[in-house]
Amino acid sequence: MGASLKTEAVILRSLRYGEADRILHVYSLEHGRIGAIAKGVRRAKSRFGGRLEPITRSALLLHRGRGDLYTITGADTVEAYRRLREHHASLDMAARACDAVGRVFAEGEPHPAVFHLLCNELALLEADPANATHANQLAFRLKLLVAAGLAPQLGSCAACGEADHLSGFSGAAGGVVCSACEAGAFPLGAEAHGFLTGALTVPLAHAPGASDLALRQAERVIASTLEHHGGLRLRDAAPRRSVAARSRG
Ligand SMILES: [Zn+2]
């Protein structure tokens, strides 16, 4: 006998399975990331309809059997995010946000703050497609790092504690480094440093903007932190062609 549970979750990913089923990766409020099977969901008359599409916030009823996989026995849509789907940029950024959550957090690590952070990000993209910016995606990822316990040290040199002459970032050291400790670090300008500290201190909706150069440095900070301390890599935080187009213009 297994146990039934109810939880709100965001559908991160959906993979075809067997003839009519799907395996879903969801991030739930109470249980963090979980894998669940939706049986018969690909049949035309499925009782789930479109309620289990990726980037949907749902109230799920789950049954846990003997395996690791839950079975979805009920689903009610809490938020379908219809508006963000009408624009390529906001849909793309929502997909990148869901992908990042799925990669950074393993199963069996509940972080209610991550669920709320993801819902906040999706709500921002839903409210205005103009929020689908590189800066917004980086601010979101920085807050994910904090939730994962991987926040980079930004206030003083992560190697020697010096508060001035901060000129680089070292993923291995776990933060900014001063000019005396910068061997193995990459350059981090004052604007990128300001963006990182700003994005970490204000709500997601008020995340600062920055030049493309500063945003690229900030993205490298996030990537290098995850690589050294989480052993993982994320997709780029923005489509490459639009980054290239912006820096040409
Ligand atoms: Zn130093």
Domain range list for the chain: 3-79, 133-248
Rg of the chain taking only CA atoms, in angstroms: 20
Cα(183) to centroid(ligand 1), Å:
10
Q: Are 114 and 27 in contact (CB under 8 A)?
A: yes
Cα(197) to centroid(ligand 1), Å:
18
Least confident of 95-104, 164-173, 237-246: 237-246
Would you state the pLDDT for residue 242? 53
Cα(207) to centroid(ligand 1), Å:
28
User: How many C-beta atoms lie closer than 10 Å to residue 21's C-beta?
Assistant: 18
Cα(124) to centroid(ligand 1), Å:
38
Cα(160) to centroid(ligand 1), Å:
4
Cα(41) to centroid(ligand 1), Å:
56
Cα(188) to centroid(ligand 1), Å:
14
Q: Average pLDDT of 73-87?
A: 96
Q: Which of 196, 202, 249 is nearest to 224 (CA)?
A: 196
Q: Are 132 and 87 in contact (CB under 8 A)?
A: yes
pLDDT in tens, 26-40: 999 999 999 999 999
Would you state the pLDDT for residue 249? 36
Q: How confident is the model at residue 248 (pLDDT cuts 50, 70, 90)?
A: very low
Cα(229) to centroid(ligand 1), Å:
20
Cα(181) to centroid(ligand 1), Å:
4
Q: Average pLDDT of 104-125?
A: 95
Would you state the pLDDT for residue 23? 96
Q: Which homologous superfamily is 3-79 in? A: Nucleic acid-binding proteins (2.40.50.140)
Q: Are 14 and 53 in contact (CB under 8 A)?
A: yes
Cα(145) to centroid(ligand 1), Å:
23
Cα(185) to centroid(ligand 1), Å:
11
Q: What angle do CA 101, 90, 78 make, to 5 degrees?
A: 65
Cα(156) to centroid(ligand 1), Å:
8
What does DSSP assign to residue 61? E
Cα(143) to centroid(ligand 1), Å:
25
Q: How confident is the model at residue 48 (pLDDT cuts 50, 70, 90)?
A: confident
Tokens 């204000």 correspond to 202
Cα(184) to centroid(ligand 1), Å:
12
Rounded percentage of the chain residues whose pLDDT exceeds 90: 84
Rounded percentage of the chain residues whose pLDDT exceeds 70: 96
Cα(136) to centroid(ligand 1), Å:
30
Is 70 exceeded by the pLDDT of residue 210? yes
Is 50 exceeded by the pLDDT of residue 57? yes
Q: How confident is the model at residue 189 (pLDDT cuts 50, 70, 90)?
A: very high
Cα(150) to centroid(ligand 1), Å:
20
Cα(34) to centroid(ligand 1), Å:
41
